[in-house]
Structure 1
Amino acid sequence: MSISTQEEWKEPKRFEVLTTTGEPELSTTDVPAPWLESRFAASPLPQRPLSRVVDHAALDIEIPSGQTSVEVQVPTVGDGVSEPAETLRLRLASYWAPRRDRW
């Protein structure tokens, strides 16, 4: 994951989990159940893409101060099924909020 400018990161940043664009996507049964429960408060079954595990699925990721990239590690489980490489697509969530100190 990369960003274009260095910023002072004071807290983890929220990354939205998006559907993939044509590539196979990691699913709820591809990751350990405890990881899924701790990140999304969800069960692996029924199997579904991680982008649809919950409404507005997102991960909070820390980017160290002064860095413009971070490696995101998502644990996976072996299920014995031969599958193509699967993808997890993330986007830095941004929002606009009015500054209350200007009111």
Structure 2
Amino acid sequence: GIKGAFRTRIAYVVQTNGGQFPYELRVSDYDGYNQFVVHRSPQPLMSPAWSPDGSKLAYVTFESGRSALVIQTLANGAVRQVASFPRHNGAPAFSPDGS
């Protein structure tokens, strides 16, 4: 099989103390080294999920005033909204083919 990104890197959300963007989506090696910020937000970020090839993260954002699912390409930072239904949008996941 193909070694998955989850075996070497983790994605997680941190809430910092104040500031304009207190929510940060971060990626690091599983041991905490090589940490970098993927996205900063004034609103909560939740539930990051890796694409099968490790090139993208899907997550929940509340930046539009309600929950929305987005996919962010790690190489260039591009963010694409994929769902924003009334009520709650959560638990993003990729299918094995990356869709």
Greater RCO, CA 8 A, separation 6+ = 1
Give the alignment's TM-score, normalised by structure 2. Answer: 0.24
The structure with more strand, counted as a fraction of residues: 2
- Higher radius of gyration, 1 or 2: 1
The structure with more helix, counted as a fraction of residues: 1
